[in-house]
Structure 1
Amino acid sequence: MEKQQKKILVLGAGASGLAAARLALAQGAACTLLDEKDTPQLQDVRRTLGAEGIDCQLGWTDERQPHAADCIIISPGIRANSVLGRLAQHSHVPVFSELAFAAAHCPWPLLAITGTNGKTTSVELLTHCLRLSGQAAIAAGNIGLPLSEVVRQAGNWDFVVLEVSSFQLEAPAGLRPAVAAVLNVSPDHLDRHGDMQTYLGLKLQLLRQLPPEGWAVLNAKLLARPEVAEAVGERKCISFSTQPDLQADFVLQDAALCRRRQDKLETLFAIEEMQLKGRHNCENALAVLATMAAAGLNPHDAAAGLRSFTSGRNRLELVGTWNNVTYINDSKATNVDALCQALETCASPGKRSIILLAGGMDKGCSLHEARPALAKYAKAALLFGQCRQRLAESWQEAVPVTLCEDLETAVARADELAQADDTVLFAPGCASFDMFSDYVQRGQTFINIVNRRQRE
């Protein structure tokens, strides 16, 4: 892609689209931004962009024709079957993702991380470790700060750590990161992507976008899959795993994070020193160590970051303990695999002491995989939201289930069931968009309900 385009069309007026439009303008392009919606908030955006020199057109329909453009930048929220998605498909000019457009103007090495679960935690942890080891690092991408905005602000960075979602990988290639890490792949977003093979293929697009000199960082469980080997090709690869028998380069062994060198294990960090808890977070930490090694840094330099990092809101967040009952907010658990990880992390040895609150918008994924964890760790499942009936039908043989009208009702029922030493775990395992704007609002709603009830 050329460094400058004379006429650029940006699709979608979300955070990524706005940042891309402003970067295009800063690069000297004439920029037009389109969005299908036309709300009072977007009207304010249109006026602001107009004052900056960007033409913003709202309420876009199939009947309208855009001005000629040299290329199109498409936001990750645009579905292929939408008005703007069809416009991009039927255009006769190059189409780029916001990430690819920004990467073409990015002077700093990109450390890109994707996966079904653990992306945000791993990106935040890697950025934290880099900073404490003396590197100037910033986190961008799906984590909330668009890469286009980072590039436009023209900071002085050693590394940009990039969270990459499957939505951001739907557009054609062009990212070219220095390191591409794939944490894991389990069913998610099948309501958008259709099937697991398509979803996996999108995740592997990140590996295919590596330049020949780039490094792949992979969960060792993925290495045996032929499509993964094909995506990696001849590129250099570092593996990680919490399973010692997989012979990964970075591995969990004897309660320590270790590096394998010439068939000998070198201990890097004892997991008891980490603030993060759970086997899945050990896997995230191993991925961070592997990514630092791939970037040419010493993994030992991650020690200060591993010791001091704590996970953010809505990730196994302690809400409080009342009458010896612990309330945990894991609203970020938006799929079944994340739900199972939360159950395992919160479990009490040898007893079913978890009251699970789950439900939300159906993603079209199989729900059966949660049954073993539910049968082992949960004493009850209180189900709410759009897909509560489907959850009940799938889980009722593994755990006693109760259908609840809403989250408030589910919390009230949990309070009735909870006994001393129980844990009330809010791990929805579903998307939030049936009842909430996002998982953040959903998590805050849970916290507010719990705190209010404890005051009453």
Structure 2
Amino acid sequence: MKKAIVFGNGVSGKGAKKLLEHEGIEVILVDDKSGVTSEAALKLLDEVQLFIKSPGIPFDNFLVKSALEKNIDVIDEIELGYRYIKDNNLSTKIIAITGSNGKTTTTSKITELLQKAGLKAMHAGNIGNSLAELILENRDLEYAVLELSSFQLEGIKDFTADISLIVNLSPDHLDRYSAVEDYYDAKFNICKNQRDDKIFIYNLNDEETLKRLNDKVNCKTLGVTVNNRKDQANCYDKDGWLIYNGEKVLETSKLSLKGKHNLENTLFIVTVAKNLNIPNETIQQCLYNTKSLEHRMELFYKWGKTSFINDSKGTNLDSTTFAIEAYKNSILICGGKDKGLPLEGIVETIKNNIKSVYLIGKMADRMEEALLKGGYPKENIYNLKTLENVLKSLKEKLTVNDEEVILLSPSTSSFDQFKSFEHRGEVFKSLVEEIFVGGERL
């Protein structure tokens, strides 16, 4: 019997194990908490023909390197799911989305729109579902809409999307990559196997994308833009309308998702929809009425005149910049795992737009130092380490008559104190209701 190692027992690992066992392959689960240890697995490598690694495990991990040295086929769960589609001649089309910011919104809203158009579409990837399990349980799926992180794209071999897109690129994950260019190049693996009539959608405002376009894209390209290079764009905004190839598709003032960043996301969503021949009326019905995502600039609670915004999905510097620009003059709660990114840009944004800053997590001390160096007033910085400390401190200062906005937008990942950004957001919301008693849940 063929054997495979699944390295990591998270969402992708569980999905890979389920699919492999369904295919009659014996699975050795490697996980220091719930399976065989990494050290023990070294002795089993000669028995296996396939090695599925979790996206969170880098290729320079000793067990992964040992598997590669033995010429074992090392892939990610996304590649496994794709191979299952092809090996079983399934008709499922793949729409793949990546980017530094906006990919979750874009993925979920493309899925929602396709469903409203009567298509069987579901999302997976970095958005909480495993492609392997999704496709195993939904062999008649018409569209798999995949949010893909750079980690998931590092090991792409045969994976090919019918439509792929990169929403934008900005520095991130420098705790994983030795140079930011390596991060950007990993993102571009999303289109490396696309040819001919496959479609790649890109952002004409994104300089890092434009730098790589000629060298890394070998299929049909479609450009979108909010501001610049509209003469080169297929989809853009003009005079209150969103235009696709000269056709007015929807009125931008009627979009339920507000802000420039959401308009940019909408350009990608509409470009996908038009290439799938979805009627304008359906596009309008969806995008005029859709709701914002949980943990993404989510106004969830009011205590007197004070509003609480949960932007726990703000896991990088650009994402928090968008949130600050949307909620100027607010009180910012910021910090988490330190990715080692330069902080000068976010410090300038905070300095120009934020009343006071409450710092949490491992990044708190470095952020405090950067704020002070950038000229942000010391008396407006509160380095309190935990969400609970922050909210209790705010409760002592605020009254129900204070008209304030409390914005949780961490600017980094959550893994120093929480299981995920969702867990961080849920803890924040729970603590707000517990500490600011008598408010209104929205």
Counterpart for residue 448 of structure 1: 430
Provide the rounded CA distance (Å) in 2 between the counterparts of 1:199 and 1:425: 29
Instruction: Give the conservation status (yes or no) of the 8 Å contact 2:204–2:228.
Output: no
Mapping 1:43-442, distance limit 5 Å: 57-58=36-37, 60-61=39-40, 64-106=43-85, 107=90, 108-222=92-206, 225-233=210-218, 235-247=219-231, 248-261=233-246, 266-298=247-279, 301-347=282-328, 353-396=329-372, 397-398=375-376, 400-416=380-396, 420-442=402-424
The TM-score with structure 1 as length reference comes to 0.87
Once the two structures are superposed, what CA deviation does each residue of 1:20-42 show, in whole Å capped at 9, x if it has no partner?
A: 122123234x222332413xxx2
Q: 1:437 to 1:98 in 2, by over 3 A?
A: same
Q: 1:297 to 1:275 in 2, by over 3 A?
A: closer
Mean Cα displacement is larger for which, 415-424 or 336-345?
A: 415-424
Secondary structure of the 1:92 match is coil
Mean Cα displacement is larger for which, 429-438 or 238-247?
A: 238-247
Mean Cα displacement is larger for which, 197-206 or 244-253?
A: 244-253
Provide the rounded CA distance (Å) in 1 between the counterparts of 2:397 and 2:300: 18
Secondary structure of the 2:47 match is coil
CA RMSD of aligned residues (A): 2.2
- Whichever residue aligns with residue 325 of structure 2, its letter is E
Instruction: Give the conservation status (yes or no) of the 8 Å contact 1:6–1:70.
Output: yes
Q: 1:64 to 1:162 in 2, by over 3 A?
A: same
Q: 1:299 to 1:249 in 2, by over 3 A?
A: farther
Q: Give 1:201 shift.
A: 0.3
Give aligned-pair identity as a percent.
27
Counterpart for residue 52 of structure 1: none
Secondary structure of the 1:187 match is coil
Provide the rounded CA distance (Å) in 2 between the counterparts of 1:173 and 1:296: 30
Mean Cα displacement is larger for which, 249-258 or 318-327?
A: 249-258
Q: 1:230 to 1:296 in 2, by over 3 A?
A: farther
Instruction: Give the conservation status (yes or no) of the 8 Å contact 1:382–1:414.
Output: no
Provide the rounded CA distance (Å) in 1 between the counterparts of 2:288 and 2:269: 13
Q: 1:219 to 1:417 in 2, by over 3 A?
A: farther
Counterpart for residue 23 of structure 1: 19
Instruction: Give the conservation status (yes or no) of the 8 Å contact 1:279–1:345.
Output: no
Provide the rounded CA distance (Å) in 1 between the counterparts of 2:394 and 2:354: 12
Instruction: Give the conservation status (yes or no) of the 8 Å contact 1:392–1:403.
Output: yes
Secondary structure of the 2:141 match is coil
- Whichever residue aligns with residue 411 of structure 2, its letter is G
Aligned residues: 425
Once the two structures are superposed, what CA deviation does each residue of 1:408-453 show, in whole Å capped at 9, x if it has no partner?
A: 2222333455573321100011111111111111111111221112
Q: Give 1:63 shift.
A: 5.0
Provide the rounded CA distance (Å) in 1 between the counterparts of 2:406 and 2:44: 53
Secondary structure of the 2:205 match is helix
Once the two structures are superposed, what CA deviation does each residue of 1:373-408 show, in whole Å capped at 9, x if it has no partner?
A: 213321111111111111112223246322113212
Instruction: Give the conservation status (yes or no) of the 8 Å contact 1:173–1:205.
Output: no
Q: Give 1:58 shift.
A: 4.2
Provide the rounded CA distance (Å) in 1 between the counterparts of 2:113 and 2:166: 19
In structure 2, list runs of 5 or more residues that go unmatched. none
Provide the rounded CA distance (Å) in 1 between the counterparts of 2:368 and 2:388: 18
Q: Give 1:300 shift.
A: 5.2
Instruction: Give the conservation status (yes or no) of the 8 Å contact 1:367–1:391.
Output: yes
Secondary structure of the 1:308 match is coil
Provide the rounded CA distance (Å) in 2 between the counterparts of 1:195 and 1:294: 35
Secondary structure of the 2:84 match is coil
